[in-house]
A and B are shown apart, each in its own frame.
Chain A
Amino acid sequence: MGTTFFQRADYVAITPEVVLALFGLGILLIDFLIEEKRDKYLNAVTALIGLAMAFVQLLRFWRGTLLPMPYSGFGGTLVLDSFAIYFQSLIVVATAVVVLISAKYLEIEEAHFGEYYALLLFSAVGMMFMASGRDLIVLFIALELMALCEYVLTGFLRGDRRSNEAAMKFFLLGAFSSGLLLYGMSLLYGLSGSTNLAVIAERLADRPAGDPLSWMAMTTLLAGLFFKVAAVPFHQWTPDAYEGAPTSITAFISVAPKAASFAILLRILMAGLWPMREDWKLLTIGVAVATMTLGNLAAITQTNIKRFFGYSTISHVGYLLLGLIAAADGNPEGLTAIAIYLLVYTFMNLGAFAVIIMMRRQNLIGDEIDDLSGLMTRAPGLAILMLIFLLSLAGIPPTAGFIGKYFIFLSLIQTQHYVLAVVAVLYAVVALYYYFRIVVAMFMKNPLDSVPLATSTGLSVALGVTLTLTLVVGVYPQPFILFAREAVRPFFSF
């Protein structure tokens, strides 16, 4: 640890986060000045400008023109490497898409307040530090920043009973999981005498195999982290939070915090607990199989579409964890698979939610699967779009979802986990079945109502962006694979 104060470069390294925090503050101030209800969209525009500026800055980092890469700043508590930049960019873009799909929905819910956008930006700040922190303290406080924003946003429809209830459950279980996570962190600190992941890895390597203390530290830490990524048996909050939250926030918490939680999980496991990889590999195998099983089987019987997507998310988390198993065997392709899977998952899921959110109309909640009935006769274009997103979620070529699953399977086969690969393929068939239930509703059933859908410019742009990425990654994945390979390089350079 250095004894000098910080250099200018340290602050350059956090400019994207600083920009987002300042724009968040700006929105809180601007919101006071907006008199007319219909001018509230200005908040969304401000948020988008902030996100765009942060993204441009991230691109400059990636090209390495601003700082030498990888840059380690703030006395080693922060590291800006290609891994951090990859995940930060993903988070920024996902947040921007969520802002696009929010405005119209919030107007209908009569909850169009500036605080919503400010909290989205603050939560993005937390998530970005989760991707770049290399110290347990930074990672913990960034995680809490993200989580607190999520709780408020989940309960943002204050008059709505389901929204309150979801916020309450999410909050209690989230706080409990933070307790577990902290206990693991305290043991890790006791073992290594440091909160820095690099030092922790060094000290853990010196410990004898089968050491009960390090094993305990690892399990409690992982229990806390598995809560955040919604892996079985710590998934219970997911369906409730997804169902109760405002739909735009369901879309948000199903992608951006998922990416950030995986970033922190990978960072801690690959950089900090790497010497214990055999231990956490075993644990992850069990959790991954349980997660895929529960997510896929429970999704079959759901009738509420947001709940359905809750279980669908859990099953995707199961696939993502499989990549971690391959990575534990020293195969970089496992991590590449996770990075690329998260990228495609973010866009296909946001696309599907952009369609679902249009079902929420004046006096019509529209969150049952039946509400999508007859979409083909009402809005053929939308039905086709939804079909593409669902095919992608199920992993059918030539959509992006196939690329994600393909790389997961490939990494498993390369590391000789044939049984796991077969299980994963079998569950992909189950997934095909339940995603098809929605397709059947859209194409075969008759519409339940004739109220026009709630469209807006923001939603059209969001659909355009997500559709383009879902198709481009599926048809021409090469550049994205290169990005993902570059992103995970920091973990395999030693």
Chain B
Amino acid sequence: MTLLQIAFFFLSALALASAILVITRRNAVHSVIWLIVTLFSVGGIFLLLHAEFLFAVQVILYVGGIMVLFLFVVMLVNLDVAVKQAQFSRQWQLALATAIILMAELAYGIYRGHQGFTLAQTSAVPPTIGNTQAVALALYQDYMLPVEIASVLLLVAMVGAVVMAKRKLE
């Protein structure tokens, strides 16, 4: 087993364990903290897969931006009441069964078909240009249009958040 594989298994175990904690903790603050751990370990796997740019985005944007926003809101709302309320749906067995079936189906499909990704493995050659450079080139040459649509999307998110959360609109 190479160092790379050991790192991968360690990070996967961390990601899975913290993901389970996210969905089982009673207190929303704990869930947020565990979600941050999951995001960090997934980010670590990004790094192992040579997606350095996205690792940075994951840490700065996801953990540093989105999760802090989550924490803010969790602190804003009344937690004492929330912790005492029922945390799990009454039909949780049924729900869990559905999710497990979905998971098993996907896992079976991938197990049966993973040979199908033949195009894979061939290009284990290290890329000639840096990851950030490759991403930037693709982003601003081939995918200029989505960048432009994303600008409108972010504007909408901003306007929408103000509309929904502001106390009084004039």
Contact = CB atoms under 8 A, between A and B. Distances in A.
B119 interface: yes
Interface string A185-216: 00000110100000000000001000111111
A152 B164 contact: yes
Q: Is the interface of B mostly helix, strand, loop or mixed?
A: helix
A448 B87 CA distance: 44
Contact of A212 (B113, B119, B146, B157): B113
Given A141-B153, A152-B160, A216 B109 contact: yes
Interface string B144-163: 11100110110111011011
Contact of B164 (A111, A126, A135, A158): A158
Contact of B142 (A77, A126, A152, A191): A77
A220 B110 CA distance: 13
Contacts of A191: 116-117
**Residue in B141, B146, B155, B169 whose Cβ sees the most chain A Cβ within 10 Å:** B146
B84 interface: no
A213 B116 contact: yes
B164 A141 contact: no
A118 B152 contact: no
Nearest to B159: A115
Contacts of B169: 111, 113, 115, 158
A403 interface: no
Interface stretch (A1-9, A354-362, A393-401): A1-9
A193 to B, nearest CB: 5
A119 B152 CA distance: 10
Contacts of A62: none
B143 interface: yes
A191 B141 CA distance: 24
A381 B165 CA distance: 42
A151 interface: yes
Interface string A123-159: 1011001000001011001101100110110011010
A100 interface: no
Contacts of B119: 193
Contact of B141 (A2, A78, A113): A2
Contacts of A5: 141, 144
A122 B152 contact: yes
Nearest to A156: B163
B112 interface: yes
| Chain B interface residue number, banded | 20 to 34
**Residue in A14, A111, A137, A211 whose Cβ sees the most chain B Cβ within 10 Å:** A137
Given A78-B145, A119-B159, A21 B152 contact: yes
Interface in B106-145: 106, 108-110, 112-114, 116-117, 119, 141-145
A74 interface: yes
Given A151-B160, A152-B164, A207-B116, A142 B143 contact: no
A28 B158 CA distance: 12
**Residue in B110, B117, B159 whose Cβ sees the most chain A Cβ within 10 Å:** B159
**Residue in A144, A145, A156 whose Cβ sees the most chain B Cβ within 10 Å:** A145
A5 B142 CA distance: 8
A289 B114 CA distance: 34
Contacts of B152: 21, 122, 125-126, 145
Contacts of A6: 144
B164 A28 contact: no
Given A125-B152, A141-B146, A144-B153, A212 B141 contact: no
Contact of A141 (B150, B160, B162, B163): B150
A366 interface: no
Contacts of B160: 119, 148-149, 151-152
B146 A122 contact: no
A75 interface: yes
B113 A211 contact: yes
**Residue in B112, B145, B149 whose Cβ sees the most chain A Cβ within 10 Å:** B145
B116 A74 contact: no
Nearest to A123: B156
B156 A122 contact: yes
Given A212-B113, A216-B109, A75 B153 contact: no
Interface in B4-38: none
Contacts of A126: 149, 152-153
Contacts of A156: 163
Contacts of B110: 213, 216
Contacts of B159: 28, 115, 118-119, 152
Interface string A14-42: 10000001000100100000000000000
Nearest to B157: A148
B153 A138 contact: no
A91 to B, nearest CB: 15
A77 B149 contact: no
A388 B47 CA distance: 62
Nearest to B151: A21
B117 A137 contact: no
Nearest to A37: B170
A115 B155 CA distance: 11
B149 A212 contact: no
Nearest to A113: B169
B149 to A, nearest CB: 5
A126 B15 CA distance: 34
Interface of A: 1-6, 14, 21, 25, 28, 74-75, 77-78, 111, 113, 115, 118-119, 122-123, 125-126, 129, 135, 137-138, 141-142, 144-145, 148-149, 151-152, 155-156, 158, 167, 190-191, 193, 207, 211-216, 220
14 contacts: A2-B142, A75-B142, A75-B144, A77-B142, A77-B143, A115-B162, A119-B159, A119-B160, A126-B153, A135-B146, A141-B153, A145-B153, A158-B163, A212-B113
Interface of B: 105-106, 108-110, 112-114, 116-117, 119, 141-146, 149-150, 152-153, 155-157, 159-160, 162-164, 169
Given A1-B142, A119-B160, A207-B116, 8 more contacts: A2-B141, A3-B141, A75-B142, A138-B145, A158-B163, A211-B116, A212-B113, A216-B105
